[in-house]
Amino acid sequence: MIDATSLLGFGEAGQAFAQPGVASFDIATENGETRPRKIADFERANVRWSATPAGALAHADLVLCLVTADQALAAAQRCAPLLKSGALWLDMNSVAPGTKRAAAQAIEAAGGRYVDVAVMAPVLPARLGVPLLVAGPYADAAAEASRAYGFTKVSIAGPKVGDASAIKMIRSVMIKGLEALTAECVLAAERAGVRDAVLASLDASWKEQSWATRADYNLDRMLAHGTRRAAEMEEVAKTLTDLGVDPAMTRGTIQRQREMGALNMTPPGGLTAKLAAIETREEDLPA
């Protein structure tokens, strides 16, 4: 039975998920310079704020931990002794599975119930409609409690802490990577005076297909032509450097293309077969 909910952290996500009357704490209230602004945030959201985590957590049956990624483990360690016995601690921070497992140890050692939660889309404008993945031994209880709080899109990712965060972290390789590649590409295109032509060329070559199909095709090209493509990308890096754009992402592309080409294999058909062949070949290579 969830009688009381607390929000730990009151940045963008905390404010997006706030319900009138819930208890809340944010570390910014411990800083004299940021305290007035943060208190104003609490008051606009009509939540009950506390100057200490103990005050916010004393009666909470459900805690939504929404701090910054670098503070997720520290928050769990600091707050674990303050929790009610059996309180659900929903770690909604974007951190690695290993970080979540370390936080789970702290929470569960103190008698709390830790839940790995991945927030799978921007919190605004979705707010409580944002998709959530929950995982861990208390995932069922957490999903029920989350829905009762008001979240409308809650799915269970798996029985182990880390099952949800692994999906989000690995997905971010593509999502955040594409963002970074976009910046590197369009900055260079703008400086070279060819932005419109580059974007038109990308439109012409970008096929509508599933990510599984795209991954299969991309691995095929890398396994078959990675060495040649790495050499071509060396020239791309020179182009960007000449334009004053640091080829940070391109350097990574050179390395990955070269590694795939160095496996020296004929790509087998299908994504599953390719992945298995890569794993086998990499195990056989000298360390």
Q: Pinpoint the alpha helices (H) of 243-270.
A: 248-262
Tokens coding 142: 């957490």
* Cα–Cα nearest to 89, from 63, 116, 71, 58: 63
- List CB contacts of 237: < 8 A, sequence separation 6 or more: 247, 250, 251, 254
Extents of the domains making up the chain: 5-166, 207-284
Contact 228, 255 (CB under 8 A): no
Mean pLDDT by 10 residues, the chain (287 residues): 89 95 92 85 94 94 96 96 97 95 98 97 96 98 97 98 95 92 95 96 91 93 93 92 95 95 93 93 65
Q: What is the pLDDT of residue 3?
A: 79
pLDDT of residue 263: 93
Mind listing the pLDDT tens digit for each residue in 193-229?
A: 999 999 999 999 988 899 999 999 999 999 999 999 9
The region, left, alpha or beta by phi > 0 then psi within -120 to 50, assigned to residue 94 is beta
> What pLDDT, on a 0 to 100 scale, did the predictor assign at position 110?
97
**Is 2 in contact with 64 (CB distance < 8 Å)?**
no
Q: Which residues pair with 115 in a beta bridge?
A: 90
Hey, is 61 helix, strand or coil?
A: coil
Give the helix/strand (H/E) hosting 185. helix 163-192
Which SS3 state, helix, strand or coil, does residue 179 take?
A: helix
Over residues 118-159, the pLDDT tens digits come to 999 999 999 999 999 999 999 999 999 999 999 999 999 999
Q: Facing residues of 267 across strands?
A: none
| Inter-CA distances, 172 with 121, 169, 257, Å | 11, 5, 20
Q: So what CATH class is 5-166?
A: alpha beta
Of 11, 113, 9, the residue nearest 64 (C-alpha): 9
Angle of helix 163-192 relative to helix 97-109, nearest 10 degrees? Answer: 140
DSSP string, 40-58: HHHHHHT-EE-SSHHHHHT
Residue with tokens 């200490």: 52
**C-alpha 89 chain-centroid distance:** 18
162 touches 104 (CB < 8 A): no
CA distance 273 to 276: 5
Q: Which two tokens stand for residue 180?
A: 């970074």
Which tokens hold the place of 4?
């009381």
C-alpha separations of 25 from 82, 98, 127, 159 in Å: 13, 25, 19, 29
